[in-house]
Amino acid sequence: MMTSQRRLLVACLMLTASVGAADEKEVISYEEQIKPIFRQHCVACHGEDKQTADLNLQTYAAVLKGGSGGEAVVAGRASQSALFKAITDPDDNVRMPPKKPPIPKEQIELIQKWIDSGLRETASSKSLMADRDLKFTPAVGVGTKPAASLMPETLPAVRLPKTLRPLAVLTMDASPWAPLVAIAGQEHVRLMNIETQEEVGQLAFPEGVPQVIRFSRDGGVLMVAGGRPVQSGKVVLFDVSTGKRLASIGDEVDSVMAADLSPDQQLVALGGSGKVVKVYSTTDGRLKYKIEKHTDWITAVAFSPSGEQLATADRAGGIHLWEASSGRVLLALNEHKSSVRALDWRGDSKMLASAGEDGLIVWWSTVDGFPAVMKANAHPPTRPAGSYGKLPNGVLAAHFDRDGNLVTAGRDHAVRLWNTQGQEQKAFVLPDSQPLSAAISFDTRTIIGGDRSGGVRFWKTDHNAK
């Protein structure tokens, strides 16, 4: 027979388990969890009796109204909410509440979850975040499979410059419809068959060093952008089958650091150290418009697969979305704290991935400009024995495959594969070299990585052919 003490212990354990389960599914709301925190720490200065900066946190409606500085909270964006920034500022002289210890970590986390989950007033209230359908849907129309596989035929011979060592593989891209990868070299581009891992041709790029390589959405055109630092920069379009130069666009006084070709092949966007994005017509080479909002070097640009939007990023971490046809600003995407190294669109244009030197990968919803998934410290480096200080953990490259998976390369000497929910699937480590670029084959079966020593690696994903 169970003793009364034993029965009491079992009952306590069951109650603890049930409370834990409830906590995991608990909806964070203003009335139940957040208002008591504000009463404890904030309403002395931001309440009904006193409203510093015209901000009242004592009622739900007043919190949403904000203060003299504008909105206090933004549904789904704790990191961009003025209130959250104020209570988490690392500077003791700036952080709220003033002249008091910081709000406890557990309460900070509740406030963050409340904002990020949509600013619910009560547990039964609806989230203030707009409904978003971010399920991946393969694109149709522009960029669909061509009638024939586009592989190089007999390409003209290329005279290669003499070099002391191979050029680091700064950039690469895989064809969307053929087993072909284009790889940056000194004054040329190498074309390799992904299935045989053999070189099948070269394209001359006497303009200098390729900084960006992109296949067109139909795989028939290859865009190569780059140049010579502090001298010149251009974008060149090549016919993939014949190697013929189709167009030479731009006349920069520095190397082009970022560029992309629109899905309809009518526009080229480029940028670099001049802090200006320039969009040109490919038919006559004329400048269509400029984007001058960025305050630092342009590090990445990318047209959406739909052709409707253009994403641009800079060395300070700024990202903007524009109307591709006119350059009209649509959204600002603010999460990165240092240089954005890569932008890439998912095939359905609903999602944009950004990767930066701050170690952050963000999967952005381009419907509302909010992050759908964020991975901080996505490429965490291993600390060498006896080392101290902060280790670089930047993400240097990012490419979506046709199924919405993302491949990235980082300063942890690894190339990683992430699924559509932002969960890591595989990691391929280069212990003796630093990967700088990465791509994934058209059938999603092979990941390609380029490293600092000029080497190219191939790894199998174990996916079935599509």
Q: What is the average pLDDT value for the chain, to the nearest integer? A: 88
Check whether 22 has a pLDDT greater than 50. Answer: no
Q: Can you name the CATH fold of 172-460?
A: Methylamine Dehydrogenase; Chain H (2.130.10)
pLDDT digits (tens, 9 = 90+) for 179-233: 999 999 999 999 999 999 999 999 999 999 999 999 999 999 999 999 999 999 9
Residue with tokens 């491949």: 407
Check whether 333 has a pLDDT greater than 70. Answer: yes
Average pLDDT over residues 350-371: 93
Return the H-helix or E-strand segment holding 8: helix 4-25
Average pLDDT over residues 310-319: 98
CB-based contact 411:436 (threshold 8 Å):
no
Local structure of 437: helix, strand or coil: strand
Task: Specify the pLDDT at position 231.
Answer: 96
Check whether 269 has a pLDDT greater than 70. Answer: yes
Task: Specify the pLDDT at position 35.
Answer: 94
Task: Specify the pLDDT at position 142.
Answer: 46
Task: Specify the pLDDT at position 384.
Answer: 75
Check whether 266 has a pLDDT greater than 70. Answer: yes
Predicted confidence band at 463 (pLDDT cuts at 50, 70, 90)? low
Residues 451 and 170: their CA atoms lie apart, in Å, by: 8
Average pLDDT over residues 436-442: 97
Bigger pLDDT: 385 vs 36: 36
Long-range contacts of 94-98 (CB under 8 A, 24+ apart): 96/42, 97/41, 97/42, 97/44, 97/45, 98/45
pLDDT digits (tens, 9 = 90+) for 28-65: 999 999 999 999 999 899 999 899 999 999 999 999 99
Bigger pLDDT: 79 vs 252: 252
Task: Specify the pLDDT at position 2.
Answer: 41
Check whether 234 has a pLDDT greater than 50. Answer: yes
- Domain residue spans in the chain? 22-116, 172-460
Task: Specify the pLDDT at position 367.
Answer: 83
